[in-house]
Structure 1
């Protein structure tokens, strides 16, 4: 593929959508198909840092920080359901006057992409699912009850800081030599804002379960599924089940690859996306 295009204007943007301030990066390429990159749980647009340069010459690319993650607003009034997050994506595209786009969702971002495609199928051409979450139920009632207890956010902060970013990265990456200080700093940065833990408390409380088989069978957009065979977060068996439930889908599984496919295999992913979208 061609060398990445050097951005003359900063891609960093912000927009108020449905009362929430969204941070997003827009790598503008007028006249090209639009790709919308949707990150996973505890992540941000940073997770697409290796993939975007490989696709930059070919597509108009939008990478969104889903609230309350990344640099988007840590709202304490927003209802953090997947359906509402999907509506934020749709609202952003409508605000930007984009009438057609393909979705690229990693992990939790895959579920939100699927929800968006069900809410407004005519807006989306195709869906790329990278180790997408699937078939998860809503949090246990005891956990939902716990989110109403004062200082639950402090417990959440303790729980996340106890393991630390490095330990979490070791769990999602198969080739541990890929982990460097830039990667650690990039995934750790959003959690320096203390407000994220209060917002995440609401996220845990509000999150509905993943789409069930009947919902998935209603998805008419063609889907490309790419999975790491060493994924310890969302096993490849989930990808195989999604492949069976989605009416029009292709599945690739990669050896010696973990959950963080956009970081671990960006060249393979970009090549498959290019073939799929074209």
Structure 2
């Protein structure tokens, strides 16, 4: 469960087959954050205060991707199912003209969301995300096969207890350029380690984490009319800049902004820069 006080007060959204815990702070046009696999809303702890202070309402849910606190045994945890949960979350909270900010796996789900339920979305920031053939990227491509092996998810979550393992490429080593603080890492990894029900949710998502979903979404990009900003790390080890360039070519109203001295988790490595880019983009594309 996300526990950073900077994210605001806690709420629960009662959705189809799922109760989603979220943090809510600020007032003004809404910005909804979509994190990736095995992290939660704490990923945004350095972004949300800056953006909220600039006059925006920031909502940071713990999506059911393995680091959430409320099990969702009845939820559809395919990428399409999670995208539908996000769309229902926006409807449930009566949010319109929303800015979606996504990172890592959350970006793959956001691409599916954009091509299924664009009606409440005003603009999108894709900050170093899975796309096209790169869902999941190397070295994480083995996770869906691993999820088919009984007991393997529990073994993986136990291994992630070890600090040295956390900095390996198969964990956070290629995701963040600098070590993530231990308290935040514990916030990310503890739910799946301590709860069999959360591990089962994680396993169910992993079984469906396949490039067919991102490739299918890409066939519908020509119909996406909202402005999209791709913020990408020049040094990204998981998602080469060529994928960002491809997204910007295929999405009709997209631009690319490259960030130095960062890997995939730009909210960890370059939070000030990312917050600045989010604010510039939302102001540039504000609804009159």
Question: Cα 1:237–1:76, aligned 2, differ >3 Å: closer, same or farther?
Answer: same
Cα offset, 1:133, TM superposition: 0.6
Question: Cα 1:28–1:254, aligned 2, differ >3 Å: closer, same or farther?
Answer: closer
1:109 aligns with 2:96: no
Take 2:232 and 2:144, find their aligned partners in 1: how far apart are those partners? 30
TM-score by length of 2: 0.82
1:121 aligns with 2:118: yes
1:171 aligns with 2:168: no
1:78 aligns with 2:72: no
Q: Deviations over 1:232-277 (max 9, x none)?
A: 1222221121111111111111222111101111111111111111
Question: Cα 1:247–1:72, aligned 2, differ >3 Å: closer, same or farther?
Answer: farther
Q: Which runs of 5+ in 1 are unaligned?
A: 1-5
- 2:207 aligns with 205
- 2:66 aligns with 69
1:100 aligns with 2:107: no
Q: Deviations over 1:78-116 (max 9, x none)?
A: 221111111111111211122221100101111222222
Q: Which of 125, 130, 136 pairs up with 2:127?
A: 130
Q: Deviations over 1:203-233 (max 9, x none)?
A: 1223453322322232221101111122112
Q: How does 1:14-163 map to 2 (within 5 A)?
A: 14-29=12-27, 32-57=28-53, 58-136=55-133, 152=150, 154-162=151-159
Take 1:179 and 1:10, find their aligned partners in 2: how far apart are those partners? 21
Cα offset, 1:130, TM superposition: 0.5
TM-score by length of 1: 0.85
Take 1:186 and 1:11, find their aligned partners in 2: how far apart are those partners? 17
CA contact (8 A) 2:31 2:59 kept: yes
- 2:286 aligns with none
1:225 aligns with 2:223: no
Q: Deviations over 1:98-143 (max 9, x none)?
A: 222110010111122222222222210000000011013778xx98
Question: Cα 1:101–1:127, aligned 2, differ >3 Å: closer, same or farther?
Answer: same
CA contact (8 A) 1:114 1:127 kept: no
Question: Cα 1:251–1:143, aligned 2, differ >3 Å: closer, same or farther?
Answer: closer
Question: Cα 1:10–1:204, aligned 2, differ >3 Å: closer, same or farther?
Answer: closer
CA contact (8 A) 1:165 1:187 kept: no
- 1:239 aligns with 244
Question: Cα 1:260–1:179, aligned 2, differ >3 Å: closer, same or farther?
Answer: same
Cα offset, 1:184, TM superposition: 2.6
Take 2:176 and 2:148, find their aligned partners in 1: how far apart are those partners? 34
Cα offset, 1:165, TM superposition: 3.0
Question: Cα 1:20–1:126, aligned 2, differ >3 Å: closer, same or farther?
Answer: same
Question: Cα 1:55–1:19, aligned 2, differ >3 Å: closer, same or farther?
Answer: same
Take 1:194 and 1:47, find their aligned partners in 2: how far apart are those partners? 23
Cα offset, 1:145, TM superposition: 7.7
CA contact (8 A) 2:77 2:204 kept: yes
Q: Deviations over 1:59-95 (max 9, x none)?
A: 1111111114333433333221111111111111211
Q: Deviations over 1:1-50 (max 9, x none)?
A: xxxxx98x951111220021111111141xx1100000011111111111
- 1:12 aligns with 10
